[in-house]
Structure 1
Amino acid sequence: MTLFSTLLKQLSIKDFFDMGIVAFMIYQVLKIVKGTRAIQVLLGMVFLAILYFLGINYNLYTVNWILEHFFDYIFIIFIVIFQDQLRAALATVGTGRKMFNFFDRSPVNYDLEEVIKSVTALSKERTGALIVVERKNGLQNYIDTGTVLDAQVHSDLIYSIFQTISPLHDGAIILRAGKILAAGCFLPLSKNIEIDRHFGTRHRAALGISEVSDAIVIIVSEETGKIKLCYNGEFLYCHNENELRVLLKKAWSGKRLDSQTHLTGQGV
Structure 2
Amino acid sequence: MPLLEQVSFLSFFSLSENVHWYDYLNDVLDIVVVTYVIYKLMMIVRGTKAVQLIKGISIILVSWFLSGFFGLKTLQFLLNQVITYGLLGIIIIFQPELRRGLEHLGRTSNLFGRTSTSDEDKQRQMIEAIVSSAQYMSKRRIGALIAIERDTGLNEYVETGIRMDSHITSQLIINLFIPNTPLHDGAMIIQDGKIAAAACYLPLSESPHIDKALGTRHRAAIGVSEVTDSVTLTVSEETGAVSLAIAGRLYRELDEEALRNKLIQELVIEEKETTLSFFNKKGGDK
Rg: which structure is higher? 2
Question: Is residue 104–residue 136 contact of structure 1 (8 Å, CA) maintained in 2?
Answer: no
Classify 1:104/1:150 alpha carbon distance in 2 versus 1 (closer, same or farther; 3 Å): farther
Q: Give the match for residue 234 of structure 1.
A: 249
* 1:198 CA drift (Å): 1.2
The CA distance in 2 between the partners of 1:191 and 1:165, in whole Å, is 28
The CA distance in 2 between the partners of 1:190 and 1:206, in whole Å, is 8
SS at match of 1:254: helix
Q: Give the match for residue 114 of structure 1.
A: 129
* 1:238 CA drift (Å): 4.2
Q: What are the equivalent positions in structure 2 for 1:42-61 lying under 5 Å apart?
A: none
Q: Give the match for residue 188 of structure 1.
A: 203
SS at match of 2:252: strand
1:171 aligns with 2:186: yes
Equivalent residue pairs, number: 156
SS at match of 2:137: helix
1:215 to 222, 225, 230: 230
SS at match of 2:238: coil
Residues 47-105 of structure 1, C-alpha deviation per residue, up to 9 Å, x if partnerless?
xxxxxxxxxxxxxxxxxxxxxxxxxxxxxxxxxxxxxxxxxxxxxxxxxxxxxx98777
The CA distance in 1 between the partners of 2:211 and 2:252, in whole Å, is 15
Classify 1:140/1:200 alpha carbon distance in 2 versus 1 (closer, same or farther; 3 Å): same
Q: Give the match for residue 254 of structure 1.
A: 270
Moved over 4 A (4+): 101-108
* 1:239 CA drift (Å): 3.4
* 1:119 CA drift (Å): 0.6
The CA distance in 1 between the partners of 2:156 and 2:111, in whole Å, is 18
1:206 to 221, 228, 233: 221
1:147 aligns with 2:162: yes
SS at match of 2:147: strand
Structure 2: stretches of 5+ with no match in the other structure: 1-107, 272-286
* 1:169 CA drift (Å): 0.5
* 1:194 CA drift (Å): 1.8
* 1:161 CA drift (Å): 0.3
Q: Give the match for residue 61 of structure 2.
A: none
TM-score (normalizing by structure 2): 0.51
| One-letter amino acid matched to 1:224 | T
Residues 210-254 of structure 1, C-alpha deviation per residue, up to 9 Å, x if partnerless?
000110011100000010111111011243211100011112233
* 1:176 CA drift (Å): 1.4
Structure 1: stretches of 5+ with no match in the other structure: 1-100, 256-268
Q: Give the match for residue 91 of structure 2.
A: none
